[in-house]
Amino acid sequence: MLPGMSGEETCKQLRTSSRVNIIMLTAKSAEQDKIEGLYLGADDYVTKPFSPKELVARVAAVLRRSSEGELLAEQIHLPDGLTLDNRTKEIRRNGEKLGVTPTEFKILHTLAQYPKRTFSRAELIEKVFGYEFGGDERVIDTHIKNLRRKIET
């Protein structure tokens, strides 16, 4: 019932490129609507009328589950024998530790989490440095250049 695109279509499109948390807040209260919303990728489904306290609790629960989920994948295996160890924040090639900086690790970790996605400099800076970053966005180029030098064979 959103203008221009349905909530279901919005959810479906978001899921193709993002793991952002999605809570559908809707007037559609039929069981089939709820099931469809959850199968499309929503993390929760709240129908109107709703209690503001319940909504806050559901948001907290979704955020809690999403942060726990990040800890489940301790290692990410990439081509060319590369392994990212999320616990120790190290990158290894065939078991041998590569000397990367924390920033370089965050960059590769971000890219590895979304293998089919292209990031703008601004998006990478937001994910790696946070919203408050006040420097030049071209700094990401230098970090990527250094990272490539260390991981490319």
Model confidence pLDDT, tens digit, residues 20-54 = 889 999 999 999 999 999 999 899 999 999 999 99
Please state whether 33 falls in left (phi above 0), alpha (psi between -120 and 50) or beta: alpha
Domain map of the chain by residue range?
A: 7-71, 75-151
Q: Which residues of the chain have pLDDT under 70?
A: 1, 67-73, 131
Is residue 66 within 8 Å of residue 21, measured between CB atoms?
Answer: yes
Cα 110 from Cα 8, distance rounded (Å): 27
The class that CATH gives domain 75-151 is mainly alpha
Cα 145-146-147 angle, rounded to 5 deg: 90
CATH superfamily entry for domain 7-71: Response regulator (3.40.50.2300)
Pairing of strands 96-98, 82-85: unpaired
Cα 127 from Cα 147, distance rounded (Å): 17
Q: What is the pTM of this model?
A: 0.53
